[in-house]
Amino acid sequence: MITGGTASSGGPAPHPALLPDARRDLPSARTVAAGCTACDLWARATQTVFGEGPDRAPLFLLGEQPGDREDLEGHPFVGPAGELLGRALDDAGIRREDAFVSNVVKHFKWKPQGKRRLHERPNAAEIRACRPWLDLELELVRPDVLVLLGATAANAVLGPRFRLTESRGMLLEAEADAAGGPARIATFHPSAVLRARDAESRRTTYEALVADLTVARQRLAS
Ligand code: URA
């Protein structure tokens, strides 16, 4: 958890997510994050794409970073991966509008390929630079269940040793000493369904995503 603070004179500038206590709410966080330059990604992105959803959501869905459409529109998961996520949520009996949806990194990282902007994975320094925004979102939204969509989100939250291939779909309750943090479950990123090499693997990946989202829903209902 991060807390509001002031810069010590002469030290590095404080992270912009260190909002003063009086402004520790989602609208303020979104406004300040819009001007975030904590890593270099802001320079090539159209805008910061901050998390969206109810102020206090039982379910928090965490992806990697905004894609091309999200970068242009300013909202998380509104492109093809978002469309697939919406369908999977429906099939799992979850209303998207009940969930808070965000990303580990809030700026689109890309490289040019012809006229297209090709997604590039954020590196460890970029993930670290953006982490205070995620911590603030989690602190303010106080979800009961955090769904980690894909390896970037899973490793950012559960550590670099976590293997999605081995532990996908396992509900991890907060440790007793974690002061009631959310239960966590890692699953496939919706893009993994879109990128699947054939129809059969597309089907099994999609079904696994829906099954894991269903586990999250059932945990909320328990
Ligand atoms: N992929 C993500 O991880 N997040 C988005 O918002 C869109 C695509």
pLDDT digits (tens, 9 = 90+) for 165-205: 999 999 999 875 556 689 999 999 999 999 999 999 999 99
- Provide the edge-to-edge strand list for the sheet that holds 183-187: 99-103, 59-63, 145-149, 183-187
Q: What are phi and psi of 19, to 5 degrees?
A: -70, 145
pLDDT the model gives residue 40: 96
| pLDDT per position as a tens digit, 26-51 | 999 999 999 999 999 999 999 999 99
Between the CA of 190 and the centroid of ligand 1 the distance, in Å, is 9
Q: What is the pTM of this model?
A: 0.93
Ligand 1 pocket test: which of 52, 60, 65, 73 has the largest number of ligand atoms within 8 Å of its C-beta? 65
Return the pLDDT at 12.
78
Encoded tokens for 187:
């699953």
**Torsion sign, CA atoms 61, 66, 69, 71:** positive
Give ∠ CA 158-42-128 in degrees, rounded to 5.
25
What's the pLDDT tens digit per position in 76-124? Answer: 999 999 999 999 999 999 999 999 999 999 999 999 999 999 999 999 9
- Residue among 68, 103, 127, 137 to mutate when testing ligand 1 (max atoms within 8 A of CB): 103
With a CB cutoff of 8 Å and minimum separation 6, the contacts of 4 are 18, 19, 20, 21, 23, 24
Centroid of ligand 1 to alpha carbon of 1 (angstroms) = 24
